[in-house]
């Protein structure tokens, strides 16, 4: 979902995959290719327009009801079902952050919770392409959003790197995951962040990155990754993105 970021440098992180020795890093920069840049510009512009027209979708909800539904572990589908035609993307800055983190860590296996229209997926898949290839598993319960995302990845020439899983992530991410995961993005139903982390956690390699967008809407998740002895080194990035490093289990 849309957030605002301050200016500043994004720290370079070099993981176990040793991105410094990756021969692809010198010759490829998919994210800034004209075709992908134009696609992302169009998608962000469409998202801005849709966001401004969002009012009627939520106008019948009482004050405080939006926050309650976002944090409900049982009614989240009702809330996000109202927004099935809205992209709810990461911000441009967060998209670049995702690319930089995936690229600099040499990520080859990525799991994404919350595909939406595929804007964050495009950034992550671009990093995989520039890292020499890999696999991105992304989960989304709204079939219409998956169709839009699949089309966008096709236009971006990145669909071959992405496996789309349609349905509730509590089921779709509960099986057939890679033995070692380099990066996890949480950007679906905020109330489920702790549960999704628990599903994937045993596959996160030491040094894996976990990025949670809008983490301020999931206090349970923040308590989990910030707790002493949690197995994570975690830091907030701006107001609502939490960046965590998986320590040795």
Range of the domain at 171: 19-46+84-246
> Sorting pLDDT into bands at 50, 70 and 90, what band is 1?
low
Residue 141 lies in a domain: yes
Alpha carbons within 13 angstroms on the beta-carbon side of residue 29 total 7
pLDDT given for residue 66 in this prediction: 72
Alpha carbon distance 95, 234 (integer Å) = 19
Alpha carbon distance 194, 214 (integer Å) = 13
Q: With contact defined as beta carbons under 8 Å apart, do 173 and 207 qualify? A: no
Residue 126 lies in a domain: yes
Residue 128 lies in a domain: yes
Can you give the pTM of this predicted structure? 0.85
Q: How many domains does the chain have?
A: 1
Residue 67 lies in a domain: no
CATH number of the domain enclosing 144:
3.40.50.150
Share of the chain above pLDDT 70, in %: 84
pLDDT tens sequence across 154-165: 999 999 999 999
pLDDT tens sequence across 6-51: 333 333 333 444 444 554 455 579 999 999 999 999 999 999 888 7
Residue 72 lies in a domain: no
Residue 175 lies in a domain: yes
pLDDT tens sequence across 98-143: 999 999 999 999 999 999 999 999 999 999 999 999 999 999 999 9
Residue 209 lies in a domain: yes
Residue 229 lies in a domain: yes
Alpha carbon distance 221, 59 (integer Å) = 28
pLDDT tens sequence across 225-234: 999 999 999 9
Among the ranges given (54-58, 76-80, 87-91, 166-170), the one the predictor scored with the smallest mean pLDDT = 54-58
């Amino acid at each position: 979902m849309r957030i605002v970021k301050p200016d500043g440098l994004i720290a370079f992180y070099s993981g176990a995959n040793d991105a410094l020795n990756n021969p692809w890093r010198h010759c490829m920069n998919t994210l800034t290719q004209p075709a992908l840049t134009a696609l992302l510009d169009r998608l962000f512009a469409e998202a801005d327009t849709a966001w401004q027209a969002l009012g009627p979708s939520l106008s019948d909800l009482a004050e405080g009801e939006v926050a309650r539904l976002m944090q409900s572990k049982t009614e989240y589908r009702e809330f996000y079902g109202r927004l099935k035609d809205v992209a709810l993307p990461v911000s441009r800055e967060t998209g670049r952050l995702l690319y930089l983190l995936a690229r600099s860590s040499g990520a080859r296996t990525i799991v994404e919770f919350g595909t939406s229209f595929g804007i964050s997926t495009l950034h992550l898949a671009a990093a995989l392409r520039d890292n020499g290839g890999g696999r991105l598993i992304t989960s989304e319960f709204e079939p219409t959003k998956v169709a839009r995302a699949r089309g966008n990845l096709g236009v971006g020439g990145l669909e071959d790197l992405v496996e789309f899983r349609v349905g509730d992530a509590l089921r779709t991410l509960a099986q057939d995951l890679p033995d070692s995961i380099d990066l996890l993005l949480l950007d679906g139903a905020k109330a489920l962040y702790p549960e999704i982390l628990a599903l994937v956690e045993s596959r996160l390699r030491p040094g894996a990155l976990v990025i949670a967008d809008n983490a301020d809407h999931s206090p349970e998740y923040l308590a989990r990754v910030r707790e002493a002895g949690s197995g994570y080194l975690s830091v907030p990035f701006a107001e609502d993105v939490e960046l965590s490093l998986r320590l040795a289990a």
